[in-house]
Amino acid sequence: MQGEVLTAAKFDVDEIRKQFPVLSQKVYGKPLIYFDNAATSQKPLSVIHTITDYYSNYNANIHRGVHFLSQKASDAYDHVRVKVKEFINAAAQEEIIFTGGATDSINLVAYTWGRKFINEGDEIIISTLEHHSNIVPWQMLCEEKNAVLKVIPINDAGELMLDGLRKLLSAKTRFVAVSHTSNSLGTINPVDEIVDIVRKHAESIQHDIPVLIDAAQAMIHENIDVQKSDFDFVCFSSHKMLGPTGTGVLYGKTSRLSQMPPWRGGGDMISSVSFEKTTYNDIPYRFEAGTPHIAGVIGLGAAIDFLNNMDRKAALQHELLLTRHAQHVLSGIAGVKLIGTAAHKASVVSFIIDGVNAMDAGMYLDTQGIAVRTGHHCTEPLMHRFNIPGTIRASFSFYNTLHEVNILGEAVKKAIAFLKR
């Protein structure tokens, strides 16, 4: 606890903010306060410049041309695979598949691993906290295969109940897919413990049970070590970790990926094509059909560089400070109720206001220059669990300030005074 208090001074927010041009603007005449970081993060100059540089100076298709530009673009693209591998400590760069985003990554696993290995009556386990993108692909698979989807329950604080997981595990359990961090509540799940429980169960039933981690919300905050945690699959999006939209990553253990059939056919994923028979390329290219989002991947590389070059520990401490301060400020306002009060939590604060519609309040905050998200945050089943239609969600990043949180508190008070009549 002592160390945490000191870090606010150690972490120079003003200096960091200079790297994010979007933050220095006014909205309706008021300084923009960007508290929608769980939806997407803002981009630092280095990422913006890297993308501009690619299109200005070496735009070319990759892995095809013999010419200078193509070689340069291919090198830059391939180099990011190495960067991602190191960032999450994968065993080999072939374990890094570039996708369109975390949603795309999850769908890839459901369509390839799922279609090959899931059979009638098999059981797939997800959790109550999941984003729709870690629910629907599994539902679609279960529908197609007549398999069963089971859901880990949560307690009133918004924490996964591991006893619930233990109860769900059966002789038919074949796959477990859970989020690392909840996008709606900020709950950080005990993913290492989950893997441990699943591994022990798999051993007892003498059947393989891979674990997929949706790390879309986690990657910008946490250090993920896929080998240490023994994850089978990890999915994440570039745009939530300072990079451009339209790009994401699927990490998979080599042993898993090499078992999986291709899903999209096209260029780059083939070894040779004839009208009689096509043979497929090795991983990772087998899963990267067509011209990829080259600028997106190169931009993701710049985002990883940015994260690597900053004091991530101090940044995380700063985010925790903002979160605690926001919880303190908001819970002190009459009529405000925090939703999701997990002990282990990322920089997301979800709340409702008694007698005030969440969207009305969100729009009021917008008039004050404050960007939040309202609604169900693509987690409708989770909202049902709390018996609410949605929340107001403020999500913080390391470039936010305590002063901004104070302004949020004042604006919420004003919103209540205006809307609750």
Active site residues: 378
SS (HEC) of 333-348: CCCEEEECCCCCECCE
Q: What is the Cα–Cα distance from 114 to 110, expressed in whole angstroms?
A: 4
Least spacing, CB of residue 386 vs other proteins, in Å: 16
Cα–Cα–Cα angle for 85, 308, 59, rounded to 5 degrees: 70
Q: Which is nearer to other proteins, 367 or 401 (CB)?
A: 367
Q: Residue 218 CB, nearest distance to other proteins (Å)?
A: 26
Closest CB to other proteins among 257 and 383? Answer: 383
From the CB of 363, what's the least distance to other proteins, in Å?
A: 6
Q: Report d(CA 46, CA 375) in Å as an integer.
A: 33
Tell me the closest approach of the beta carbon of residue 102 to other proteins, in angstroms: 20
Residue number, 48 or 363, with CB nearest to other proteins: 363
Q: At what angle do helices 68-87 and 294-309 cross, to 10 degrees?
A: 40
Backbone angles phi, psi at 67, to 5 degrees: -85, 170
Q: How many CB atoms lie within 10 A of CB 337?
A: 16
Burial of residue 61, with CB atoms counted within 10 A of its CB: 0-12 exposed, 13-18 middle, 19 or more buried: middle
- Give the relative orientation of helices 102-109 and 136-145 as an angle to the nearest 10 degrees: 20
Q: 111-114: which pairs have CB atoms within 8 A and are 24 or more residues apart?
A: 111/137, 111/141, 111/263, 112/260, 112/261, 112/262, 112/263, 112/287, 113/175, 113/210, 113/233, 113/256, 113/259, 113/260, 114/138, 114/141, 114/145, 114/175
3-state SS class at 8: helix
Question: Which CB, 390 or 409, lies closer to other proteins?
Answer: 390
Q: Is 276 helix (H, G, I), strand (E, B) or coil?
A: coil
Q: Of 86 and 410, which has the nearer Cβ to other proteins?
A: 410
Q: Please state the closest distance from residue 25 (CB atom) to other proteins, in A.
A: 15
What's the closest the beta carbon of residue 255 comes to other proteins, in angstroms?
41
- How far apart CA 217 and CA 188 sit, in angstroms, is 10
Helix pair angle (402-419, 312-331), 10° resolution: 30
**How many Cα atoms sit within 13 Å of 97 on the Cβ side?**
34
Rounded to a whole number of angstroms, the minimum distance from the CB of residue 95 to other proteins is 36
Q: Which is nearer to other proteins, 190 or 389 (CB)?
A: 389
Interface residues with other proteins (CB under 8 A) are 28-29, 357, 359-360, 363-364, 367, 374-375, 389-390, 418-419, 421
Q: What is the distance of C-alpha 11 from the center of its chain?
A: 24
Nearer to other proteins, 25 or 308 (CB): 25
